[in-house]
Amino acid sequence: MYRLLSDLSVIEASSFVASPTAGLYLAQMGAEVIRVDQIGGGPDFRRWPVTAANDSLYWENLNRAKKSVALDLSRPEGRELLQALVQATGQFVTNFPVHGFLSHDTLSAKRADLVTVRVMGWADGSPALDYTVNNAVGYPMMTGTGPEPVNHVLPAWDLLTGAYAAFAMMAALRRRDATGEGGEVRVPLSDVAIGTVANLGGIAEVLAAGENRERLGNTVYGLFGRDFATADGERVMIVVVTPRQWRQLLAALGLTGAVAAIEAERGVNFATDDGERFRHRDALFPLFERAIAARDHATLAPLLDAAGIVHSAYRTMHDAAHDPRLVCDNPIFAPGVANPSGMDYPAAGAFATLPQHDRRPPAPAPRNGQHSEEVLAERLRLPHAEIARLVDAGVVGTS
């Protein structure tokens, strides 16, 4: 079976979420991703969540299927080895600063066709994190009911930036295949965030309206969608996106006549217009609240399923970890992976597959420096005696 990206090798020097995610996605699609860290681990090596032994489950899962080289990057000799690895390989993913020993100009001086993908904070090179960029683009002032801002816990901009950076790497490699030219692709977190806001119509919306969107809590903007409470205290999110779903939801809940009465009273037609359902939610929501509150969840769920309605009860992450559809019977997961932490839990592999793609089981993350000797010998053709000298001198780390 053909393994996607099996002929691609990438050096990764990065930390935290966005840049390691780019490397992870490339590795999951079959690329050889060689992560280079400081001996003993970089700044994210112990990031929470951690085990009782202080092993980072975050690091362990963001770095699956990669190789690890450990160098003392505080010393010139260690930095020179990292530069040499990048130049020997020709593909580089990093979130190190634009300027310095890993600048593209420095690295490409000895490898003109080098492709560098650099994840950044702001486009001008100043630092930023997902949580601060999210504040800058306005989403915490749209979340919740107000007036205080509400941060969400998912690092969405980090994850989008990581995926975009992996995509950018492949685009830059296609360009190099066609022209022979390398180059640096910069992917600022801030541009991914504000660009996504624009792509969703948010910039145009506020400029046209001259004001911010009202805060809606759990109500979906522009659609019929909200959480409702059942008779037994479950909260269920229900979202309608098609005319057929709307008709079938009314029939399932016995609300066809009551909704027709609202349409007649207000001179509107909810059958085909998402916007009208949203605008008149003040009249519609009380009907649905009463109808759903009269049923327990065990009765409601099969009723909605039979009607083809999109719905989901709210669950904890602990619940999700035991859900057969999400984890236990999901083929992206595999148990029994030899994780560096020693913990045995379902490990995620690639999220997407092609029929011709050999779906490999999820691979473990490396130990810090696990592949140092192997990579230095293969990539830089260093003799074993020289590698031993570097290890003894503390320039190279091994596991």
C-alpha R_g of the chain: 26
147 cis-preceded (ω within 30 degrees of 0): yes
- Decide if 158 is catalytic: yes
d(CA 252, CA 231): 16
Helix (H) or strand (E) holding 69: strand 67-71
Helix (H) or strand (E) holding 377: helix 372-380
Write out the DSSP string of 77-138.
HHHHHHHHHHHHH-EEEE-S-SSSTT-HHHHHTS-TT-EEEEEESSTTS----HHHHHHHHT
Q: Tokens 């996605």 label which residue?
A: 25
Write out the DSSP string of 163-197.
HHHHHHHHHHHHHHHHH---EEEEEEHHHHHHHHH
d(CA 371, CA 11): 13
d(CA 121, CA 57): 24
CA atoms within 13 A on the CB side of 7: 3
Tokens of 229: 């409470």
Which of 80-91 are b and which e, b meaning 16 or more Cβ less than 10 Å from the residue's Cβ? Answer: ebbbbbbbbbbb
Cβ distance 190 to 133 under 8 Å? yes
Handedness of CA 325, 329, 334, 339 (dihedral sign): positive
Among 158, 273, 274, 319, which one carries the catalytic annotation?
Answer: 158
d(CA 169, CA 27): 13
Instruction: Indicate which residues carry an active-site annotation.
Output: 158
